[in-house]
Structure 1
Amino acid sequence: MSANPADNGPDPMVEGSAGSMPAGTDAPVDTILLADTVLTMEPGAEPLVDGAIAVSGDRIVAVGPAGALRAAHPQAQIVGGPGHLALPGLINAHQHLTGDRIIRSMIPDDLEPGRSIFEWAVPAHAAHTGGDDQLSATLSLVESVCNGVTFTVEAGTVAHPERVLAGFDAVGVGGTLGSWGWDVAGEPWAGSVSEVLDRQREVQRLTVEHPRVRGWVTLVGHDLMSDELVVAASDLAREVGCGITFHLSPSDSDTTSYLDRTGKRPAVHLDDLGALGPHVLIGHGVHLGDDELERLLATDTAIAYCPWAYLRLGQGVTRAGRHIEFIRQGGRVAIGCDAENAGDAIDVLGAAALAAGLAKDMAMDPTVFGAHAALHHATLGAAHALGMGDEIGSLAVGKRADIVLVDTTRPEWVPLSPDPVLQLVWASDGRSVAHVMASGRMVVVDGEPTLVDRPALAIEAAERHRRLVRDARLGA
């Protein structure tokens, strides 16, 4: 067994069987989810054969043999059974829920750097209504949950965070919510430091009592934040007890800008300001120098790694990416999918497979970072990167009941491999997902969302797409 999640082979931080209900616990069990194999993703545990997960309210109250749990709770609703693989809900550590979705896969993939932002993204955001933001978030989260994602780190909305929160509620999943802020004069929607911080506090107000969605301090990042703003925003996150996320160094342009302005590489400068720390999740972190890796590791700052986006945008991950090296040195990394004109598909399993493939190919070493490690960084490893390892990321008693059942009778699962993780990551993707529970509620059954009308969303999306393209003059 490998001692490092970045190595190939079974990972002590992944597969597992969690303990059963603690003695003396008599919580009424509402639902029991059954599977031929249960991947709890708990540290050091093996896959549980013919297993079950018992749920009461929004919590897991037992994980153990199917026969024993069914006999103990005969009144419980049964979901799944033979022909299923169970695993924790997947975590998407970086996803744009507004701006791109209604013009999905429309921005050309052969534009020079900068053109996609100023000729497409900025006009699209400027033309977005509150209804557009809510529909965009709902569509993205429907796709996410149907692919097994139950928790999404929202990368920041420009104008209507309350409407994005409504999208989370419509689909029934969890995540983080942010309101983008930047204070560099002359840029669209720039505000003062106090204005940006007020927006962050408003998101906290919106989510303070929400059972599934947490407000995070969210800046656009890059070189669009003054030293005063990033320090104040980081301090606010520490004060409130939430995370902070921002974009940094997906390409080498941030490095050039910071060196010109400060004489230091970005992560070094931010650490010197005291803005980094275990509450920080950097989006991307592709172009990092040795000194930056050392600072991120020393401060326990986490990274959201979105490999499909870097390939789609030609940002140099195969030449400069050091995410696996960062993991090997103890860094916290979670996998993300980015935007629908970058990563395009919101499929964390697909992104995990790509992360593993890139790691092996970049090292020219097939023993590096296999499927087990990749799945870890889409589940429990991702939860640790978000500072939520005690709440999500594995199937364990007391954790949130975010559970995915994969249909192992589909063609990609025939015949069954003796190692379900290899088959899950390399042979399948989100299309294998059959049922999804989020916070104890069935939100996907037989591949279809239970809380939203998908055909009606498609009709509305087509109408809003035509209006947005016209009003924003996209492609003109």
Structure 2
Amino acid sequence: MSSASIGRTLIRGGDVVTMNPQRDVLVGGSVVVEADRIIAVGSTSELEAAHADTITSTIDATGCIVTPGLVNAHHHLTGGPLVRGCIPDLLPAGASIFEWSVPLHGAHSPDDDEVSATVAAVDCVRNGITTVVEAGTIADVDRVAVGLDAVGIRATVGVWGWDIEEGPFAAPAAEVLDRQRHVVSQYPSGGLIEGWVTLVGHNLASDELLAGASDLARSVGTGMTMHMSPTSSDPEQYLARTGRRPLVHLNDLGVLGPHLLIAHGVWLDDDEIDVLLSTDTALAYCPWAYLRLGQGVCGHGRHGEIARRGGRVALGCDAANAGDSTDILRTAAVAAGIARDAQLDTMSFGAHDAFEMATIGGAKAIGMDDRIGSLEVGKQADIVVHDTSTTAWMPRRDPGLELVWGTDGRSVRDVMVDGRMVVENSRCVTVDEPALYEQAQQQHDSLLARAGITAPHRWPHHDAR
């Protein structure tokens, strides 16, 4: 094949925030994409001259900011997206889970799974998120994959499981591990959608299940994720059952390691942070969830400290019962604010640190920094163009400060995932959005009815049509 027959896309003229090791920002720079890869990053005039014969499409990013795709390291693609805006925030501790999430998960049908995952994926890409780690709760992994594939997002999938107590997806350890084995074989690592070993975590897994899940993830070379210690409940239960705090116990079992991404990790003590760091275990930090649910992150969360000490920390958006927004830039801002305010230290953590968590740091935390997280030659073409034409961006100066403190996902104009355009002019172009929204409303009504839940209104609603 001659070079003239190779189609290439030029994203030209934007301020390119590379997130490369030097954190170079190329003012008025460009990126060249061929198929699913970035093949050049640099001066616009030089790249236009060098690739003039092969450029078949151009995205004009003049005056815009161009960044790597954002990473959402913990998001419930099913169970929550169809009931967003329904779950009250004035609930007793735990009620949002046991009175809402558990019955909703138990009532989820395969149709619900596909529509819910599609809605979540569209919401992600429209906010510049190009990679999402599923937190579990999938009843039908294949239908979820269909929804994710339709949108074109990069994602991990995994079916939930626990073997202690009752509830949706509960089963003996061997059965849970068989489910996990099926998913990781169906969706091997390295694809746009890959299978991960995915447990509920908390205190809902026996030592047999925890060790077996970790061994499985290591043996097939994939990731593993589970929930742990968003509140004081997990430490209290582990101390009562094992005499050790959760991460110390997991370390003694050989579960911790670079393959593991723990969601939350708010209530960790010094010993747990030490084993987290020494084993290179990663954290997915979802600050809006802890704030909405009142879980004590300002007094107990130490994620900024963990990141400063070299820990692998990513950001996540969690679930509808714990924060209805799917916006990593908004999440980065609150993460930076909590880190600064909790320590009364304005020098320890800032916008640039938080944006690293949203890009290259997040990619490192989920074990994909060799593929995504920065705009560098050879990496997958996951790219976001941010519109800076509004007054929120005037005057222009430091993109790190502007992206985190000054804007949110509404600035996202165009999004490319794996070399494919999925958002253009702030609309998802891979699915029929109006038709999806109508279908989601129908599934919403049906799901609530099947779960036996009546969604209340805090303020009186009157039909005024």
Q: Bigger shift: 203-212 or 319-328?
A: 203-212
Measured in 2, the distance between the counterparts of 1:209 and 1:334 equals: 19
CA contact (8 A) 1:372 1:421 kept: yes
Partner of 2:39: 61
Partner of 1:169: 149
1:269 aligns with 2:245: no
Shift of 1:29: 4.7
Shift of 1:210: 7.1
Secondary structure class of the residue paired with 1:344: coil
Partner of 1:3: none
Q: Aligned runs of 1:73-472 on 2, under 5 Å?
A: 73-74=51-52, 75-208=55-188, 211-416=191-396, 418-472=397-451
CA contact (8 A) 2:223 2:261 kept: yes
CA contact (8 A) 1:218 1:244 kept: yes
Shift of 1:463: 1.0
Shift of 1:338: 0.4
Task: After superposition, give the CA deviation of every residue in 1:445-467 in whole Å (9 maximum; x if it has no partner).
Answer: 00001110111111111111111
CA contact (8 A) 1:55 1:401 kept: yes
Shift of 1:252: 0.5
Q: Label 1:209 to 1:315 Cα distance change in 2 as closer, same or farther (>3 A).
A: closer
Q: Label 1:353 to 1:209 Cα distance change in 2 as closer, same or farther (>3 A).
A: closer
Measured in 1, the distance between the counterparts of 2:115 and 2:226 equals: 24
CA contact (8 A) 1:42 1:396 kept: yes
Secondary structure class of the residue paired with 1:169: helix
Query: How many residues in Structure 1 have an aligned counterpart in Structure 2?
Result: 451
CA contact (8 A) 2:189 2:221 kept: no
- Percent same amino acid at aligned positions? 54
Shift of 1:370: 0.8
Task: After superposition, give the CA deviation of every residue in 1:430-452 in whole Å (9 maximum; x if it has no partner).
Answer: 00000000000010000001110
For residue 266 of structure 2, what is the amino acid of its counterpart? Answer: V
1:475 aligns with 2:454: yes
Secondary structure class of the residue paired with 2:349: coil
Measured in 1, the distance between the counterparts of 2:429 and 2:188 equals: 26
Measured in 2, the distance between the counterparts of 1:85 and 1:28 equals: 27
Shift of 1:202: 1.4
Partner of 1:46: 24
CA contact (8 A) 1:176 1:214 kept: yes
Q: Aligned runs of 1:7-46 on 2, under 5 Å?
A: 28-46=6-24
For residue 445 of structure 2, what is the amino acid of its counterpart? Answer: R
Q: Label 1:185 to 1:341 Cα distance change in 2 as closer, same or farther (>3 A).
A: closer
TM-score, scaled relative to structure 1: 0.92
Q: Which runs of 5+ in 1 are unaligned?
A: 1-24
CA contact (8 A) 2:158 2:183 kept: yes
CA contact (8 A) 1:95 1:155 kept: yes
Q: Bigger shift: 147-156 or 365-374?
A: 365-374
Secondary structure class of the residue paired with 2:358: coil
CA contact (8 A) 1:34 1:84 kept: no
TM-score, scaled relative to structure 2: 0.94
Q: Label 1:45 to 1:27 Cα distance change in 2 as closer, same or farther (>3 A).
A: farther
CA contact (8 A) 2:189 2:195 kept: no
Secondary structure class of the residue paired with 2:321: coil
Measured in 2, the distance between the counterparts of 1:224 and 1:379 equals: 31
Secondary structure class of the residue paired with 1:250: coil
CA contact (8 A) 2:138 2:158 kept: no
For residue 413 of structure 1, what is the amino acid of its counterpart? Answer: W
Q: Label 1:27 to 1:424 Cα distance change in 2 as closer, same or farther (>3 A).
A: farther
CA contact (8 A) 1:80 1:405 kept: no
For residue 410 of structure 2, what is the amino acid of its counterpart? Answer: R
Task: After superposition, give the CA deviation of every residue in 1:264-301 in whole Å (9 maximum; x if it has no partner).
Answer: 10000000011100110000000001111111111110
Shift of 1:175: 1.4
Q: Bigger shift: 79-88 or 29-38?
A: 29-38
Measured in 1, the distance between the counterparts of 2:189 and 2:23 equals: 34
Secondary structure class of the residue paired with 2:21: coil
Measured in 2, the distance between the counterparts of 1:188 and 1:61 equals: 46
Q: Which runs of 5+ in 2 are unaligned?
A: 456-465
Q: CA-atom RMSD, angstroms?
A: 1.5
Q: Bigger shift: 63-72 or 28-37?
A: 28-37
